[in-house]
Structure 1
Amino acid sequence: MAPTADGAQRRPAPEAPDASDASDAPDAPEAPDDAALTTGAVARRLGVSPPTLRSWDRRYGIGPQVRGTGRHRRWSPADVAVLETMCRLTSQGVPPAEAARAARGKAPVPEPERAAAAGSRAAGALPLGDVRQECRGLARAAVRLDAPAVEDLLSAAVEEHGLVVAWQEVMVPTLHAVGRKWASSGDRYVEVEHLLSWHVSTALRRCTRPAAPYGGLAPGPVLLACVPGEQHTLPLEALHAGLCQLGVPTRMFGAAVPAEALTAAVRRLGPSAVVLWAQARSSASLALARYIADTEWGMKGARRHPQVVLGGPGWAGRSAAGMLRPPSLPEALRLLAGAAVSPGPGRV
């Protein structure tokens, strides 16, 4: 599975007319449809919740200059540019009223040093590179510690792209960017990393279903566990959510599972596969992996043992015969779904 850094309530509903969307100037010209965005589209692009956009419009005049058909808000490229400035300044710690004046050209743009002195511990943009637009909106919302917007954007990404794409192309790049910024800025971004990780975990858990039953001659469940001392669980949570969506029986044990407890669970459940996640090389124990692979259950003459799957960057260059190390989430889902429909390895 791809290495990752560790670190909703609802998707924005389609825009409906309300009192705050009505224009005070009914004769204002309408923006061309191909040059204007709805409030929901702007919110997803910039990582600002729709209620925040409406509040900025009412309080500071940071709103669309024209209204579209049906008198709904329609944001032109110029309107979005003003919003981008507003978002950048508020993420640097500039008070909203002052940021609005600067964004509208009514006051000088504050210097970065002044923005930092205004109280921001996490000023500046995240180093995202060439990523989906949703990543940029999510990063902006996380830097502002705008939890409602983070939840909305994560929910929208999963709904629009599906779990696997949302994880690989939206969540992971943003988590990586936060991790890099934190590493290069001391502890200034730790609160951003914690907030984003929490909401990513929440979004992943909302993709899960109740544990699928198993029994009889069917293969046992897939066990998911971090090795002892390993606290990074988000990649394992993404795998768990994906397996749940496929209807594969799973048992999720989470962070830092003691070796004795993991071995006991293997003997009790007779799993078809055991996924061992290690983020750090120091925690990736091949001795433990071999011990789990050799753990047996069943009647004499029909002993079985689990397929061991190694996940995480900690296992890089450290594999063992008979163990699998899928390079991505889709490949891990394919392998584990196959293991769940065929009996585990047997020994005589």
Structure 2
Amino acid sequence: MMKAVPPESETLTVGAAARRLGIAAPTLRSWERRYGLSPSARSAGGHRRYNGEDLARLRAMMRLVDQGVPTAEAASEVRDRSYAGSSQLVTSATSAAHGPAKAAASGAAPPSRARRTPPSTQVDLFALANAMDAERLTHEVARSLDRYGAVEAWTSRLVPLLVDVGDQWERTGACVEIEHLASEAVAGGLRYHTRRTIQRNRPNETERPVVLACLERENHALPLLALAAALAERGVRIRTLGAATPVTSLSNAVRLIRPAAVFVWSSAPETADRAGLRTLARTRPAYSLVVGGPGWQGGGKPDGWVNSLADAVEALIRAVRPAG
């Protein structure tokens, strides 16, 4: 069951803070030991606790690391900065615990938390979501995909929408119906765009396809739909297995399909089944294994990890068309 964002006076233990950030608790303890990123609050009993400013500092560090900055350098960059304006314990977009919209948005470059005012030529998707106008919102999502292409629309229009409705829910503890409506509208628009694109741009049937899946405990599959739309635009054959696919089922599909690549999404560490990946069927010819999402970051990024939708598309295109 989802809970409202805690009040400013509430602080978090190491385990709770790690869950909010989407990382492992030992990683958080290591950062405290090695880089001095210690919790600054205390509970009534005198135990050290993380507050909203601490979490904002850690998120800033994680963004720098994702951009390629060495961990020690990123920690030094954020350690002495003030993040006092972030006293609310707002859940990171890398956490899967706060609804489908924010979990689906994870892994994208974090947009500004301030409400974005769309250019005059764009319809405000956030306003449509709050008006509960599902039909028009789905239409505008599809229109954005047609106008900008899947990668640009996902990054600049759809992820900001998902983050905004997730933030609204966290601030108010209400409006979960708006978050669900927005997620469904984005999913509907992405599926419609993919179908139309495949009809217009028939894939080359001689090329091996790409399989897209989430493993068994991962229920947030919107990034797979965005990736399917982007690959369809490039004429790549796709087989989307979707959310909560057991490893055995994915292995069976791989044996039958014999893809050029397999992409697996994880939004949180608890859904990143590294052991399961190692049991996936091997085929001849071999396929490339590409993984995406913040779930794979804990404990070191595995081979084949990509950091964005654009990077995922590039890696999968290389697997399908190695000489291209």
Q: Would you say same fold, with TM above 0.5?
A: yes
Say yes or no: does 1:193 pair with 2:179. yes
Equivalent position of 2:205 in the other structure: 214
**Distance change (3 Å), C-alpha of 1:287 and 1:238:** same
Q: What is the deviation of 1:159?
A: 3.2
User: Do 2:247 and 2:277's aligned partners in 1 also have CA atoms closer than 8 Å?
Assistant: no
Shift of 1:276: 0.7
Cα separation, 2, equivalents of 1:212 and 1:152: 25
Deviation at 1:148, TM superposition (A): 3.6
Map 1:260-275; keep pairs closer than 5 Å.
Answer: 260-275=248-263
1:338 Cα deviation after fit:
1.3
Q: Does 1:257 align with 2:250?
A: no
Which residue of structure 2 aligns with residue 129 of structure 1? Answer: 114
- State the partner residue of 1:98: none
Are positions 1:313 and 2:300 aligned together?
Answer: no
CA contact (8 A) 2:287 2:319 kept: no
Query: What SS is found at the alignment partner of 2:305?
Result: coil
Shift of 1:167: 0.8
Q: Which moved more, 1:253-262 or 1:308-317?
A: 308-317
TM-aligned CA deviation for residue 239 of structure 1: 0.1
Query: What is the one-letter code of the residue matched to 1:296?
Result: R
Tell whether 2:137 aligns with 1:150.
yes
Once superposed, what is the RMSD of the aligned Cα atoms?
A: 2.7
TM-score normalised by structure 2 residue count:
0.59
| 1:136 Cα deviation from its structure 2 partner | 7.8
- Which residue of structure 2 lines up, in the alignment, with residue 284 of structure 1? 272
- Pairwise CA distance, 1:179: 1.4
| d(CA) in 2 for partners of 1:213, 1:156 | 26
Deviations 1:216-248 (A, max 9, x none): xx4x21110011111101111000111111011
1:258 offset after TM fit, Å? 0.8
% of aligned pairs identical?
Answer: 33
* Structure ID, larger Rg: 1
Structure 1 pair 330/320, CA: closer, same or farther in 2 (3 Å)? closer
Which residue of 2 is the match for residue 332 of structure 1?
A: 312
* 1:171 Cα deviation from its structure 2 partner: 0.6
Supply the AA of the counterpart residue of 1:313. Answer: P
- Superposed CA deviations along residues 283-317 of structure 1, whole A, max 9, x for unmatched, are 1011112222xx3224xxxxx43211111111114
Task: Supply the distance in 2 between the matched residues of 1:157 and 1:226 (Cα, whole angstroms).
Answer: 26
Contact preservation (8 Å) 1:131, 1:169: no
CA distance in structure 2 between the aligned counterparts of 1:147 and 1:133, rounded to whole angstroms: 19
Instruction: Give the match's secondary structure for 1:241.
Output: helix
> Counterparts of 1:155 and 1:143 in 2: how far apart (Å)?
18
Q: 2:161 aligns with which of 170, 174, 193?
A: 174
For 1:6, the equivalent position in structure 2 comes to 100
3-state SS in 2 of match to 1:206: helix
Query: What number of residue pairs does the alignment pair up?
Result: 212
**1:60-209 counterparts in 2 under 5 A?**
128-129=113-114, 131=116, 133=118, 137-186=124-173, 188-208=174-194, 209=198
* Alpha-carbon separation, structure 2, partners of 1:154 and 1:326: 25
Unaligned runs of 5+ in 2: 1-65, 68-92, 102-111
Task: Give, in whole Å, the separation in 1 of the partners of 2:283 and 2:267.
Answer: 29
Rate the CA distance shift 1:237–1:319 in 2: closer, same or farther, 3 A.
Answer: farther
- CA change 1:251–1:319 in 2 (3 A) is farther
Question: What does 1:10-29 correspond to in 2, within 5 Å?
Answer: none
**3-state SS, counterpart of residue 315 of structure 2:** helix
Q: Which runs of 5+ in 1 are unaligned?
A: 8-126, 299-303, 344-348
Structure 1 pair 239/319, CA: closer, same or farther in 2 (3 Å)? Answer: farther
Report the AA paired with residue 316 of structure 1.
Answer: Q
